[in-house]
Amino acid sequence: MKRYMYRAQCRPGVEPEACLRAMKRAVEGRRERCPAENTSVFTYGDEWFLYYECSGEEKVDPDLLFAEAGELLAVWPGAGAGQARHWAPMTDIFHYQRPVSAEHWARKHPDRKPYGRIAVLKPEEIASYVYYHYQYQEERPGDGDKYGIIGLHENVLFFYSELPATLEKAPYEGKLKTNLRPDNWQAVMDPHFVMWTDAPPGEEVWRKLPLVLEASEQGRLGG
Q: pLDDT band for position 52 (50/70/90)? A: very high
What does pTM read for this prediction? 0.93
What CATH code is carried by the domain that includes residue 21? 3.30.70
15 φ/ψ angles, rounded to the nearest 5 degrees: -75, 135
Q: What residues are paired with 115 via a beta bridge?
A: 161
Q: How many CA atoms lie within 13 A of 135 on its CB side?
A: 13
pLDDT at 32 over 80: no
Which residues, including other chains, have CB under 8 Å from residue 130's CB and lie 6 or more apart?
A: 93, 152
**Structural domain that includes position 20:** 2-222
Share of the chain above pLDDT 70, in %: 91
The total of structural domains in the chain comes to 1
Pick the closest to residue 209 from 118, 128, 83 (CA basis): 118
Q: Are 209 and 49 in contact (CB under 8 A)?
A: yes
Calculate the average pLDDT of the chain.
91
By the 10 Å C-beta count (0-12 exposed, 13-18 middle, 19+ buried), 204 is classed as: middle
Pick the closest to residue 93 from 166, 150, 173 (CA basis): 150
| DSSP SS3 for 52 | strand
Tens-digit pLDDT profile for residues 133-183: 999 999 999 999 999 999 999 999 999 999 999 999 999 999 999 999 999
